Amino acid sequence: MKLPACRSNAKTLRRHQQLLPAGIPKYIRCYDNGGKTFDRYTVIYTGRYPKTGGEFFYRGMSKHPFHPQGFGQSGSLPSPGDTNRWGYAPQIGRKNHLGTRIPFSDLPPDCQMAVRMDYLSLWSLEHTPIAKNPPAPVRDTSRQT
C-alpha cells in the first residue's frame, strides 16, 4: 500500500512549510553589528528543537562563513543570548549587545545558506523540500479506444 507514504509526504511537506514559510526559517533572530568585529553576523535559533536538550544555539559568522579566511562558529547557551532581563528580544531595526536586529533576507547569501543548513539539521528536516505539485504521470495517448 502506498497510501501511508502519501500521508507521510503530505505531513513532511506541511511541517516543512510551517517551519520554513517561503524558505525563511521561522524560529531565528538575526543581528548585524555593522562590522565592528570579524564575526559581524549573529543568528540565535529560538525554537524548542528536539536535539538541543533545552539549550539555545547561535551562530556567529563573517560575510563568507565557508571561506578558508572567513569565520563561522556555533555554540549554545542555557537561555537565548539576545533577550533583556524580562525575556524580550529587540524588534527588527532595534539594537542590543549583538548589534542591530535585521531580517533574514538582509544576511549575505553564504550566511543564509549556513543558517538554513543549521536550521534543517536542528528540526530534522530534509535538505530538499518535497515537490508541492509533483509532475503528472505521462499517459500514452497513441492507443485510442
Q: What is the per-residue pLDDT across 101-136, written as a single tens digit (0 to 9) for each?
A: 999 999 999 999 999 999 998 888 876 544 445 444
Per DSSP, the residues of 55-97 read: -EEEEEE-S-TTSTTS-EEEEEESS-TT--TTS-PPPTT-EET
Residue-averaged pLDDT of the chain: 83
What pLDDT shows up at residue 126?
Answer: 73
pTM attached to this predicted model: 0.77
